[in-house]
Structure 1
């Protein structure tokens, strides 16, 4: 990478004293990066990393469920609108920010609006909470993957030691008597063998550790460590497998699902529009939340991954391409899921709606495995399905932890720049230890609590403030000039309007609706007690609280009157490169 590509160009001065990027020569923040900063080996390494992060387990389990719950084919209208006016602009904004400033989620704020630096710390804490439960779900998939290497899948029959008298097998049996107490073999395998949740009395008594799951999680984190320890040079190679394998498996499962009897019933149920649903506010909220969590702005991952790009990389095209790939993957996953649900409905002689009630992990670990178990070649399809689930999960884990690694290392380079391997090892150990509560007999209850509160409204509020800070405090014109300096053209009026008004309104809409429309938290007939909901809100607040805490800290320790302090804290700092060195010197913008 040339010197010009490795730092933001300051431009030449014209007769009015302005740079070719459109700034005043006395106010342009001269961004400097370390010449020794890592960079992607290939452009495809970056694209696959971004796609791998954005395309995660939620594309397989969340989108199909939300789609049929909210009007089938009619749901695509609010989904597309929310993507165009909310999700994609935020996605583009983060890629551009990361690429221009070439730094992580913490130190980037000294170049944008220093008083908002707490956003970076909040992002890191949220990513840490996500790692505590998300990798446990991958460990469950690894347990299933190992259990699939048998001639007869263990969740096929009710003849196993973990089964109860209530176990009832739909398939291969005539005149099955099914009541409210009946459980399928797949359900009992998941709850009584994988989780052993029956040995827990709830959050007050989660029970002991499941050593099998501890071992699975240890293997997962081992893979994660050796994928991340050397930086994007190693993770960029790993994603060639983990980001492409799910698409191969999805197409295999789609072809197999389309040939199953009753598959058409599932597809019709999936796509049949219910236009009256568009009048319900909940549908639009779900569409906004789905596209936001699917694309993943606000987690610091896009900032981190883009920061290793060449300065002139076309991040605009990258944002459009990767967003389209992500949304199309969600849509394709719906066909993969619902062809199988249609087959299950055909075999049970019931409506598709009756077999499409499961959501979240239950769809991956009960409904779909049950259908696979009764296909010809069930062992093969189980192996590749759970291989796909593991790959989808690993990609997102790589992104989430890289966001923390890049943010912290860029903030404290004097301590960590030459100690990346040790820092990554320490981070992985912290994540493993933090996950232990999710590996108990009642670990599924902890997973649900962390998923609901650890990265729910907190991350939406964080990215809302991020959009406000960039568009209103840093300035939309200054940000547009940054993009022009990189790409040679400025963003159009559509993008500017989205960044200034529509995207923040989109996020505020999700936050308010989520806070006003709270539902009881229930898992496997266990209703979460009120104290656990309070704990959940404390967990959510523990990340967001760093934003106002840092604001107060910054104002207190900045010299001058209150007006002077506010002016300094909201103004980007100037970063100067010392000649012939990689060191940075910081001076405030005059």
Structure 2
């Protein structure tokens, strides 16, 4: 984090990423806590969201298998999530979120305990845990896939999944969703890949690793699509409706539609347990990466103050994030979770990644960067990669960022109308991370540079002399 190699004033990018990781930790661990709640609720003879005869159900509750089911009715799975897990009916949205729900706070606290003991020793502890959290979901995915394709209507769901709708490419939201999916699944911009790769040897084949990592990420998402849409096809078959009327976006797909489908299967308790175990391991794997990136960056930047006291620092950091995340565990916390998802990393990460790409390939220079890669691998990147780095990637990222700014209201969803004051607060949250970049430049320009304005400006974008001459065996900074 001390500096990115292209500019003396680039540490602001690192601080922006750290702040984004904090925002992500505030709501993402809460979502994992929901999965923990479902996991414990699954250890019963009959899943609690199977029927309507529970204390939290309303008169509108009706199983989807009921022939009289209408659009005005609500399913047991939907009411379990909204009225039992979240109890969001006890709040008025962000205007009054209500008190903290103790059971949710306890589930999320358990998540933070797991995260702490996975990160406190650095890669020595996180690396061992990742073997489980990274590989276990694949086992569960294949089990769920085998079960999913055996269900009636599954082929219709898969056919719907594989049938392209080219006209939707004109919709900017599709591109924004695609970019967000890559950012959250692969982790560019969050510092995860940089933090973990900083532990590699100088001559490690980063080109091979980049291709393998990107390919596995995309193939995993492709595989998960079969698992999801086979079940959506089954639900459409059960409800005797079209697939596009079954699916929900965001948490609704994971905590309503899929549990609803599981409840209609034979051996539903078993399928529920392994499904939510998979969600928990996937979630922990993601939160490890983001937090490890921030921790590693700060330990590298302040080796004496933080690096020597890593265990204590990780404890204090996670304690602060947990305290800040407590509002997401209130009865109206689900509205804050969606709010932070959009205004925390959702918008800011697009700008940060654009700055990273532009900074490296426009200011530092694609030729100098290619020479650094050649020094590491012995092979200079081809013209294809250099064109992508120089033109395609930065321009595409900038366009996606502009479209996301213009269409931010669609990202918030239509189920809840956010009050006007919250929109202003949201933009303040977004700006708090984005402004780290120009604010750090101003600080360095005014207080940490010497000479007149022209000299300071020239030094601001001057490449440090040690860049491009890293010796094998040296380990660089992470962000």
TM-score by length of 1: 0.77
- 1:122-161 paired onto structure 2 within 5 Å: 122-161=16-55
- Correspondence for 1:587: none
Alignment of 1:470 onto 2:360: yes
Alignment of 1:243 onto 2:134: yes
Alignment of 1:191 onto 2:191: no
SS of match in other structure, 1:526? coil
Residue deviations 1:52-103 (CA, integer Å, cap 9, x gap) = xxxxxxxxxxxxxxxxxxxxxxxxxxxxxxxxxxxxxxxxxxxxxxxxxxxx
Shift of 1:522: 5.6
Specify whether residues 285 and 136 from structure 1 end up closer, same or farther in structure 2 by C-alpha distance, changes over 3 A only: closer
Match of 1:544 among 429, 434, 438: 434
Alignment of 1:350 onto 2:250: no
Specify whether residues 522 and 460 from structure 1 end up closer, same or farther in structure 2 by C-alpha distance, changes over 3 A only: closer
- 1:98-247 paired onto structure 2 within 5 Å: 106-109=1-4, 111-171=5-65, 173=66, 175-180=67-72, 182-247=73-138
Aligned partners of 2:134 and 2:285 also within 8 Å: yes
Larger radius of gyration: 1
- 1:159-558 paired onto structure 2 within 5 Å: 159-171=53-65, 173=66, 175-180=67-72, 182-356=73-247, 358-519=248-409, 525-557=415-447, 558=449
Specify whether residues 432 and 522 from structure 1 end up closer, same or farther in structure 2 by C-alpha distance, changes over 3 A only: same
Specify whether residues 520 and 331 from structure 1 end up closer, same or farther in structure 2 by C-alpha distance, changes over 3 A only: closer
- Indicate the structure with greater helix content: 2
SS of match in other structure, 1:462? helix
Q: Distance in 2 between matches of 1:251 and 1:405?
A: 34
- Correspondence for 2:459: 568
Aligned partners of 1:521 and 1:528 also within 8 Å: no
- 1:79-98 paired onto structure 2 within 5 Å: none
List gaps (5 residues or longer) in structure 2: none
Shift of 1:301: 1.1
- 1:17-56 paired onto structure 2 within 5 Å: none
Q: Distance in 1 between matches of 2:285 and 2:429?
A: 25
Shift of 1:116: 2.0
Aligned partners of 2:180 and 2:346 also within 8 Å: no
Q: Distance in 2 between matches of 1:481 and 1:276?
A: 42
CA RMSD, 1 decimal: 1.9
Specify whether residues 284 and 382 from structure 1 end up closer, same or farther in structure 2 by C-alpha distance, changes over 3 A only: same
- Correspondence for 1:28: none
Q: Distance in 2 between matches of 1:231 and 1:275?
A: 45
Shift of 1:164: 0.7
Shift of 1:530: 1.4
Aligned partners of 1:555 and 1:569 also within 8 Å: yes
SS of match in other structure, 1:317? helix
Shift of 1:292: 3.9
Aligned partners of 2:183 and 2:189 also within 8 Å: no
Residue deviations 1:394-445 (CA, integer Å, cap 9, x gap) = 0111001011101111111121222110111111111111110100000001
Q: Distance in 1 between matches of 2:199 and 2:357?
A: 22
- Correspondence for 1:90: none
Shift of 1:287: 3.4
Number of positions where the alignment pairs a residue of Structure 1 with one of Structure 2: 470
Q: Distance in 1 between matches of 2:457 and 2:340?
A: 36
Specify whether residues 486 and 369 from structure 1 end up closer, same or farther in structure 2 by C-alpha distance, changes over 3 A only: same
Q: Distance in 1 between matches of 2:388 and 2:412?
A: 37
Shift of 1:296: 2.2
Q: Distance in 1 between matches of 2:415 and 2:396?
A: 34
Shift of 1:519: 2.6
Residue deviations 1:434-457 (CA, integer Å, cap 9, x gap) = 110100000001001000110122
Segment of structure 1 superposing worse, 281-290 or 144-153: 281-290
Shift of 1:521: 6.3
Q: Distance in 2 between matches of 1:468 and 1:400?
A: 22
SS of match in other structure, 1:477? helix
Q: Distance in 2 between matches of 1:380 and 1:248?
A: 14
